[in-house]
Structure 1
Amino acid sequence: MSISFLNAGAHARLTARIEQLAPDTPRRWGTMSAQQMLVHCADQLRVSRGEKPVTSVRLPGFLKPLVKWLVVTRLKEFKPGMRTLKELDAKAGMTPLTTFADDRKALLALIEPAQYSPAGVKHPVFGHLSAQELGEVTWKHLDYHLRQFGA
């Protein structure tokens, strides 16, 4: 079993790492600023919760389990250079930035475990994700970006 952001201990560690970030925290790779990364990660959760529509990827239903298996189950960690959905791209479709403090606050609110049902979510790319699967893939994504900024 992988680490899940829905687990109290992992959630506390993620929160502490997010709190370490500052607007001028330098990136180790990629092109996003720390603030763009906060919004990108918040948008990933908005997509998972059905609050941000995805139109850039339309998979036939029979392919969703395969994509889910590859990304959620087989992928141990996100790696530099992986592509993202257009809706999460800092140059294409990401939610507009506000202030660093407000964007951090929004991400922290979205990772609050109490908001998530044990039944999971209906993800537009992966199909149904159990709460455990959502927790694990989101932890991998957040960990990747926090490592990107040395947090």
Structure 2
Amino acid sequence: MVKKSLHNRIYFEEIKSRISNLTKNSQAKWGKMNVAQMLRHCNYVLQVPLKKIELPSVNHLFEAIGILTKWEMQIFNNGIPRNMPTFQKLIVNFECDFDEEKQSLLKTLDEYLQNLKNENVPARHVLFGKMDKKDWGFLEYKHLNHHLKQFSV
């Protein structure tokens, strides 16, 4: 069973290609965000390992659930459930410019890859607990894949 990761150049390029295939008319199969909002949301999530966005701490019960969820995704290699709650800081419920958001996300992906080469990723995630380079690449791929499937690319 192959575990796709942003740290594998093939899957990194696959994600970039799928983002490039989005158009401003791409329609969501589920959820509340339009395509431009989804691009901004994905950009925000990538900014967490880049240390540009700091998430608020969660109580121990939510952290335990997060750690179990991370293990479950790694063991069974399954995806993120639809309409899963997220941190308030990562919610995009305002209008965004599609072309700007698309270019910005592609730029942030390149920055993420450069950061990765410098081994500069946080050792913890407030929800998923202890994280290493492999964990970040796997979970960031899963998150981007989830939203790209949401918009049929």
- The answer to whether the superposition gives a TM-score over 0.5 is yes
TM-score by length of 2: 0.81
- 1:84 Cα deviation from its structure 2 partner: 1.0
Assess if the C-alpha contact under 8 Å between 2:67 and 2:127 holds in 1: no
Q: 1:128 to 1:105 in 2, by over 3 A?
A: farther
Report runs of 4+ in structure 1 exceeding 6 Å deviation: none
Assess if the C-alpha contact under 8 Å between 1:27 and 1:33 holds in 2: yes
Specify the alignment match of 1:124 in structure 2: 126
Specify the alignment match of 2:115 in structure 1: 115
Q: Percent identity?
A: 23
* 5+ residue gaps, structure 1: none
In the alignment of these two chains, the number of paired residues is: 144
* 5+ residue gaps, structure 2: none
Matching residue's letter, 2:17: A
CA–CA separation in structure 2 for the residues paired with 1:139 and 1:70: 18
Q: 1:1-151 residue pairs with structure 2 within 5 A?
A: 2-55=3-56, 57-60=57-60, 64=63, 66-75=64-73, 76-91=78-93, 98-112=96-110, 113-116=113-116, 117-118=118-119, 120-121=121-122, 122-151=124-153
Q: 1:105 to 1:85 in 2, by over 3 A?
A: same
Assess if the C-alpha contact under 8 Å between 1:39 and 1:97 holds in 2: no
Q: 1:119 to 1:104 in 2, by over 3 A?
A: same
- Where is the helix percentage greater, Structure 1 or Structure 2? 2
Assess if the C-alpha contact under 8 Å between 1:46 and 1:52 holds in 2: yes
